[in-house]
Amino acid sequence: MRRTLTISAIALASLSAPTVAQDSILEYRFAGLDACAATGKDAAAHNAFKLLGQRLLELEHELELEPEAGQAIGLGWDVLSGAMALEVRLTEEQLGIAMALSSRPSGDATAASVVERLARFAQMGGLPMEQDDSGGMMFDSPAGPGLLSLVDTAEGQDAALRVGAAEPASLTLDSPLMPAGASTMMQMRVDLEGLSMFLLPMLERDAPEVAQMLTDSGWLGEGAPTIEYAMGSSDDATIMRAKLHDVARLMTDAGAGPDVVFDRDAFRAIPRDAVRIYAKPASFRVLVEMAEAVEQETGEDIFAKLQEELGFDVRADVLENMGPRQTLYMSDTTGGGGLLSSVLLLDVRDTARLARAHNQLVTRFNQEMRDQARGYLRIHSSTRHAGEVFTLMTPGLPVPLELSWAIAEGRFVVALSPGSLDAAIAQLKSGRNSVLESESFQSAVLSRIPEQGASSVTFADTPRLARRGYGMVNLMLSGLANALRSPDAPDRVASPLMPAFHDFNADVRPFGMIAYWDGDDYMIDAKADRSMLVNFAAGAASIADVQGVAIAAIGGGVMLPALGKARQSARELKSMTLVRISVQAAITFMGANGDEMPESYEALIADGFMSPEMLESPFGPVGDGEPDIAMWFDLPNERAFSFDANQIIAIDRAMLLSTGWQTNVGFADNHVQKLSTWELEEYLAMPQNEGAREALGIPEL
């Protein structure tokens, strides 16, 4: 309650003018745990979860909490687990928010106990309350007079909190989005235009860039849309539906308008054994707009600079050339159905134009990596499937990934391995044995795509994924069972919460979500298996995918640190040797030339004290035309020949610039030491090293 009152106070302070709107700007209704009927697979876990309230009450004593804290935890559970409705209204009669919160507790709690505890906590928090003739508790708030009371209903009594509202919020769930015969468990409606009246002032104060972006895009402010959402169930499915009212213009501006659709033929490029599919509009317009905003703000034309640097028009050749659709899928054909079988198909408007830009970029990348990464990172190209394919390689390093891509059949195709790419291109070219022939895809998606096509499609082979995620959910439920038990009630949860594997995986329904246009309204219709545990298991399969990648990465990771450390140590040792040779060369030169410091590298090389190769650091090249090993040639002779252990003579400048935090430094007493940047700064601050920074080309650290 305190949080809600705080929101109301902020809202009142934010409103700058009265409004004539009378509809709710925010509605939320939840049927409560008791009303959320569970399937046979979920029944044990559902009943166990409802026992959480009992366990929370025990924490007061076990954790030695203050009595008020323990009671607050119990009250929060009773309110949030029961049937609940929240409405925020704007009214003509009163400037501000008219809020109503109603709750019908679950379990053994009563509405009367909820009202009594809410009133007690409010008074403890400093909110004065007075009892009215009906037994309700009255109070004043920044959003108007408030009343906390019991309300008689056909089902019994509800606990009702009203702030500036004539009636309590309705607990009736009646979303028009739900199909006939389905029960509604939760529904929500948000009027973003009305909500903007107090959201925008807060955003403009705390995050002005976000406020500007949301206003410019039309999602907040005048004309912002209304969004409805509902979730429920039928006898055989979990149903989720949403409606975004009058958003055609907003979605078109974002590159996802009614003209971007997926019909049946769009899915011929996907193998029949696809496990997951995500098909949606693709637009890089936001990147173009960001660059335009930078140009408007600073006058700097980012695309012009990129074209000068790369040799092609990034905006026209790449960003505006990609789309308008993209599809990501995972399948057995492309690598076993896990994360590493992922393939991205991105529409291309002009493949020849993209290919020219791409080849220029590859050439430039390989040139840079040859210098910067010494050949350990490069893009390799080869000819397969009557076309050119590309792979990002790390020669000599056991990195467990070979990102591969190609431009084929009007698509930009990306995969996580060359084999996956080959399979994806073969499917793209043939179109045979596609997901259109999959019974699961037909029932979950194809049978529900409207005649005009879908704006986006999401599919998951839940029967297969649930099997892979079964063990993960089983572990989670074991944790829940142990958490619900206590030393005083070790038998609170006695039976297994997870059904047997074969029972769990019987008659599982695939997941399908279709988004489509109904005039200017954007509709989303999703159907999943009736069992929430089955759906959780399908989601948990993603964790198993990540584990598989992690195991492969660990294989390379076990060796990479050792290889990297050995290579780094070898480079540091060679660098230290070169710095020592430089100092020795200078000291020897001085001994042979009347204690005078050499004038340059050329003098040392000409007299045979060192060779040009001795100036090339393994961390180089520096890139500015100067030697990697820097020496202080204009150092006064008496300081150079002082054998002072703090007097800097030479430094591996390439190592300093390459690592950014350490380098090898040679001193006048002929010792060499690896110093961190902060240690180097301490030496540079010493009187005898005044001028060393400029003489050795050491940047500000």
Q: Is the pLDDT of residue 100 over 70?
A: no
Lowest mean pLDDT among 126-130, 152-156, 315-319: 152-156
Average pLDDT over residues 255-284: 93
Can you give the pLDDT at residue 487?
A: 84
The strand ranges marked E within 31-155 are 83-89, 98-104, 130-131, 137-141, 144-153
Q: Is the pLDDT of residue 641 over 80?
A: no
- The alpha carbons of the chain give a radius of gyration, in whole angstroms, of 35
Q: Which of 31-35, 325-329, 683-687 has the highest mean pLDDT?
A: 325-329
Q: Is the pLDDT of residue 493 over 70?
A: yes
Q: Are 129 and 122 in contact (CB under 8 A)?
A: yes
Amino acid at 476: M
Can you give the pLDDT at residue 37?
A: 66
Identify which has the larger pLDDT, 55 or 507: 507
Lowest mean pLDDT among 46-60, 574-588, 641-655: 46-60
Can you give the pLDDT at residue 191?
A: 94
Q: Is the pLDDT of residue 613 over 90?
A: no
Phi-psi bin for 22: left (phi > 0), alpha (psi -120 to 50), beta? alpha
Identify which has the larger pLDDT, 413 or 660: 413
What span, in angstroms and rounded, lies between the C-alpha atoms of 468 and 338?
10
Which pTM does this prediction carry? 0.74
Q: Which two tokens stand for residue 68?
A: 């008020």
What span, in angstroms and rounded, lies between the C-alpha atoms of 155 and 173?
14
Lowest mean pLDDT among 21-35, 405-419, 465-479: 21-35
Q: Is the pLDDT of residue 562 over 60?
A: no
Can you give the pLDDT at residue 98?
A: 58
Can you give the pLDDT at residue 545?
A: 57
**How would DSSP label each residue in 536-547?**
HHHHHHHHHHHH
Average pLDDT over residues 500-518: 94
Can you give the pLDDT at residue 96?
A: 46
Identify which has the larger pLDDT, 235 or 544: 235
Can you give the pLDDT at residue 279?
A: 95
What span, in angstroms and rounded, lies between the C-alpha atoms of 392 and 403?
5
Q: Is the pLDDT of residue 20 over 70?
A: no
Average pLDDT over residues 6-19: 34
Q: Is the pLDDT of residue 95 over 60?
A: no
User: Sorting pLDDT into bands at 50, 70 and 90, what band is 10?
Assistant: very low
Can you give the pLDDT at residue 423?
A: 95
Phi, psi (degrees; rounded to nearest 5) at 452: -80, 0
Average pLDDT over residues 214-220: 89
Q: Is the pLDDT of residue 701 over 70?
A: no
Beta strands 521-529 and 378-384: pairing type? unpaired
* Nearest C-alpha neighbor of 106 from the set 171, 35, 157, 39: 35
Can you give the pLDDT at residue 369?
A: 86
Identify which has the larger pLDDT, 647 or 562: 647
Average pLDDT over residues 136-163: 84
Average pLDDT over residues 658-663: 85
* Nearest C-alpha neighbor of 184 from the set 239, 226, 227, 235: 239
What span, in angstroms and rounded, lies between the C-alpha atoms of 239 and 178?
8
What span, in angstroms and rounded, lies between the C-alpha atoms of 396 and 659?
21
Helices (runs of H) and strands (runs of E) counted in the chain = 21, 24
Average pLDDT over residues 549-562: 43
Percentage of the chain lying above the pLDDT 90 cut: 36
Lowest mean pLDDT among 178-182, 208-212, 290-294: 290-294
What span, in angstroms and rounded, lies between the C-alpha atoms of 117 and 115?
6
Can you give the pLDDT at residue 567?
A: 55
Average pLDDT over residues 385-406: 88
What span, in angstroms and rounded, lies between the C-alpha atoms of 675 and 230?
63
Q: Is the pLDDT of residue 559 over 70?
A: no
User: Sorting pLDDT into bands at 50, 70 and 90, what band is 101?
Assistant: low
Percentage of the chain lying above the pLDDT 70 cut: 90
User: Sorting pLDDT into bands at 50, 70 and 90, what band is 63?
Assistant: confident
Identify which has the larger pLDDT, 280 or 291: 280
Phi, psi (degrees; rounded to nearest 5) at 631: -125, 150
**How would DSSP label each residue in 642-685?**
S--TT-EEEEEHHHHHHHSSEEEEEETTS-EEEEEHHHHHHHHT
Can you give the pLDDT at residue 13?
A: 35
Q: Is the pLDDT of residue 262 over 90?
A: yes
Token pair 């009773």 is found at 78
Can you give the pLDDT at residue 1?
A: 31
Can you give the pLDDT at residue 17?
A: 33
User: Sorting pLDDT into bands at 50, 70 and 90, what band is 14?
Assistant: very low
Q: Is the pLDDT of residue 89 over 70?
A: yes
Q: Which two tokens stand for residue 371?
A: 């210098």
Average model confidence (pLDDT) across the chain? 84
Cα angle, residue 188 at apex, residues 187 and 190 outer, rounded to 5°: 165
Lowest mean pLDDT among 80-84, 231-235, 589-593, 686-690: 589-593
Identify which has the larger pLDDT, 118 or 700: 118
Number of Cβ within a 10 Å radius of residue 280: 17
Q: Which of 26-30, 242-246, 679-683 has the highest mean pLDDT?
A: 242-246
Average pLDDT over residues 610-615: 84
